[in-house]
């Protein structure tokens, strides 16, 4: 069969596309085309051609367009009918389909497109620069055809006049669109700073910075973005006292409190400073940067002395800090200076973290004495709403210190408490849950997962559910069939506030399903249930299906993985089709190949 010849319109569009890709000024008459023809041209343009089309748009055409963000290139415009915006969104979707659902519909798709494109170019350049044989300039690194085919199409990559093969072109042309950047150590050099001079960075993530030779280029890069940079993150870095001093000095000039840094993160890194001789620039940064909202020192090799120094400095600071994360360190004893007497004295002097809303001390080897000191230190955080103590062996003595805190502060705003894997016993948790039922502002989220509590805790758990809890995690606490039986017996009235519950890994068998089938109709706000790995037999599904059919709630997800509850692929498909929420299956079911393998949670 003879292939039909291309249409005249197609040939014209191809000609315009090639002209735009070569960077030449397009024929002015193209902007005078009727809107339906112009829309057809726009919809066929690859990213670079579309960018050039907008950049060279005559002023007389601006009446039909809205100006873009004035901090970007002056040529970027967005049409009122959103033709260009839709085109950028489609280009983004074609190139990164896995990311499209994570972006707000009202996003600036052109800015997001070029930002993601430049990150791809940077990641590819880092791979080249890490090769032992590399000895050229960073800016001269060639961008691969794998990337270029998305912005130029094959017509341009085969063109001898191609201007976009080198990395420098991409940053010169699209640099103003870059807001967030991840940078490996190999690219933390002065030449990279030159490439990034037109960027307006808001977020900078640095990885594997471990040498003093990276200090000067990094400080230069920070000084290039003094007005826009709000978030700085170090991952897998080795930060010496000299390094920290230089970085903080760049972020916060002496006697000029204008730094806009809001988030300062150090994760999975070595933070090596002397707490008795901490760099003055670091102390000044923590003390005086009023914009600081979130500080993270997660898995940063902190000891108790450094942690105490950081906390004491923040206590004296003028910042509006809302989040402090010092998790995954070894800081037992960091609050040893806090006692009931010392707290009264320091509170009278006005020292307090009034703005702190979230404190994460997960996995810090804290013991019962640390928990007691923390209960005193909490008085310095009158606005604290979230506390993560998980992974610390505070035992029942530690939880009793929290009980004392709640009794002394019945109007505490603390609403989110994580006590997962804290070596708690049934007696301690029962006492704690009974106390919560008496406070003026009870908790909304509570986790006591991975504590060997047993079935005896069931009554106290049910009492907490009927009072205020919106989200409860009681996974892997050893409830067993007896515990779920007790939960079901005591579930006699509605659980009006519960929104999510995790009861996984409790080996409850059929009693798990009986409890859930009773809970679902009585919890109108329940949206998520994790019942995985409970050794539930196949008949459990029949109970749960009947419960879902009669319930009037809004359940979105019921995780049943790790249970023996599917007899055939046909049953699997029918359940997924019948029970859906907004087009998504409610049931998360095990595959037929694994549904007959019981979960073994024994060590």
Nearest to 371 by CA among 387, 357, 355, 356: 387
Look at residue 386 in the predicted model and tell me its pLDDT. 97
Question: Do residues 526 and 470 both lie within one domain?
Answer: yes
Question: Does residue 467 form part of some domain?
Answer: yes
Question: Do residues 450 and 403 both lie within one domain?
Answer: no
Question: Do residues 478 and 334 both lie within one domain?
Answer: no
Look at residue 209 in the predicted model and tell me its pLDDT. 94
Question: Do residues 576 and 471 both lie within one domain?
Answer: yes
Main-chain phi, psi angles of 252, to 5 degrees: -145, 95
Question: Do residues 484 and 561 both lie within one domain?
Answer: yes
Beta bridge partners of 142: 166
Question: Do residues 524 and 562 both lie within one domain?
Answer: yes
Question: Does residue 185 form part of some domain?
Answer: no
Question: Do residues 391 and 466 both lie within one domain?
Answer: no
Mean pLDDT, contiguous 10-residue spans, the chain (603 residues) = 68 71 65 74 86 75 49 43 83 94 90 97 96 92 92 63 84 96 96 94 96 92 91 95 91 59 94 86 86 94 93 85 96 84 49 87 96 92 95 96 91 94 96 87 93 95 84 96 94 86 96 95 93 92 88 88 68 72 84 52 52
Question: Do residues 519 and 441 both lie within one domain?
Answer: yes
Work out the number of other CB atoms within 10 angstroms of the CB of residue 98.
7
Question: Does residue 359 form part of some domain?
Answer: yes
Question: Do residues 439 and 588 both lie within one domain?
Answer: yes
Residues in contact with 77: Cβ distance below 8 Å, sequence separation at least 6, in sequence order? 54, 57, 62, 65, 66, 67, 68, 84
Element (H, E) at 340: helix 340-348
Question: Does residue 554 form part of some domain?
Answer: yes
Question: Do residues 372 and 407 both lie within one domain?
Answer: yes
Question: Does residue 533 form part of some domain?
Answer: yes
Whole-number Å distance between alpha carbons of 263 and 350: 25
Question: Do residues 470 and 555 both lie within one domain?
Answer: yes
Question: Does residue 193 form part of some domain?
Answer: no
| Structural domains counted in the chain | 2
CATH number of 395's domain:
3.80.10.10
Look at residue 289 in the predicted model and tell me its pLDDT. 79
Question: Does residue 403 form part of some domain?
Answer: yes
Beta bridge partners of 294: 263, 323
Question: Do residues 307 and 402 both lie within one domain?
Answer: yes
Question: Does residue 83 form part of some domain?
Answer: no
Nearest to 378 by CA among 407, 410, 349, 402: 402
**Structural domain boundaries enclosing 358:** 302-339+352-412
């Amino acid at each position: 069969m003879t292939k039909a010849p291309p249409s005249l319109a197609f040939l014209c569009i191809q000609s315009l596309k090639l002209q735009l890709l070569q960077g030449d000024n397009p024929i002015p008459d193209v902007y005078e085309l009727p809107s339906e023809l112009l829309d057809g041209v726009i919809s066929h343009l690859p990213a670079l051609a579309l960018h050039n089309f907008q950049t060279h748009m005559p002023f007389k055409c601006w009446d039909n367009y809205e100006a873009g963000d004035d901090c970007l290139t002056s040529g970027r415009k967005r049409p009122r009918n959103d033709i260009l915006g839709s085109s950028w969104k489609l280009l983004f979707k074609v190139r990164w389909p896995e990311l499209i659902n994570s972006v707000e519909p009202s996003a600036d798709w052109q800015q997001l497109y070029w930002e993601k494109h430049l990150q791809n170019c940077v990641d590819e350049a880092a791979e080249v620069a890490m090769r032992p044989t590399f000895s050229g300039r960073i800016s001269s690194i060639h961008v691969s055809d794998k990337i270029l085919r998305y912005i130029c199409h094959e017509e341009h990559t085969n063109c001898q006049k191609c201007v976009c093969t080198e990395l420098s072109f991409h940053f010169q042309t699209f640099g103003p669109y870059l807001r967030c950047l991840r940078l490996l150590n190999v690219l933390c050099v002065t030449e990279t700073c030159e490439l990034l001079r037109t960027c307006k960075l808001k977020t900078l993530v640095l990885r594997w910075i471990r040498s003093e030779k990276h200090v000067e280029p990094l400080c230069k890069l920070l000084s290039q973005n003094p007005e826009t940079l709000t978030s700085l993150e170090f991952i897998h870095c080795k930060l010496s006292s000299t390094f920290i001093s230089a970085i903080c000095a760049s972020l916060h000039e002496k006697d000029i409190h204008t730094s806009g840094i809001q988030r300062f993160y150090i994760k999975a890194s070595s933070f090596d400073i002397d707490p008795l001789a901490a760099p003055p620039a670091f102390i000044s940064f923590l003390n005086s940067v009023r914009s600081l909202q979130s500080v993270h020192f997660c898995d940063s090799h902190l000891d108790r002395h450094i942690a105490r120094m950081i906390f004491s400095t923040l206590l004296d600071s003028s910042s509006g800090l809302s989040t402090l994360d010092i998790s995954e360190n070894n800081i037992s004893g960091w609050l040893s200076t806090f006692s009931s007497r010392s707290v009264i004295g320091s509170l009278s002097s006005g020292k307090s973290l009034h703005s702190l809303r979230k404190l994460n001390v997960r996995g810090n080897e804290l013991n019962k004495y640390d928990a007691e000191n923390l209960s005193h230190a909490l008085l310095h955080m009158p606005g604290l709403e979230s506390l993560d103590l998980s992974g610390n062996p505070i035992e029942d003595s530690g939880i009793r210190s929290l009980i004392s805190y709640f009794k002394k502060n019945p109007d505490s705003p603390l609403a989110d408490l994580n006590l997962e894997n804290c070596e708690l016993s049934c007696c301690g948790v029962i006492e704690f849950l009974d106390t919560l039922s008496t406070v003026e502002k009870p908790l909304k989220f509570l986790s006591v997962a991975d504590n060997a509590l047993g079935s005896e805790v069931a009554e106290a758990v049910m009492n907490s559910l009927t009072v205020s809890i919106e989200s409860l995690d009681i996974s892997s606490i050893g409830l067993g069939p007896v515990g779920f039986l007790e939960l079901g017996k005591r579930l006699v009235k509605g659980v009006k506030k519960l929104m999510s519950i995790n009861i996984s890994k409790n080996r409850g068998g059929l009693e798990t399903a009986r409890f859930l089938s009773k809970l679902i109709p009585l919890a109108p706000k329940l949206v998520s249930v994790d019942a995985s790995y409970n050794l539930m037999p196949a008949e459990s599904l029949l109970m749960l299906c009947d419960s879902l059919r009669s319930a009037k709630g809004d359940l979105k997800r019921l995780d049943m993985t790790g249970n023996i509850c599917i007899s055939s692929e046909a049953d699997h498909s029918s359940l997924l089709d019948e029970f859906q929420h907004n087009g998504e299956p409610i049931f998360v079911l095990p595959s037929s190949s694994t549904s007959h393998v019981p979960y073994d949670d024994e060590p």
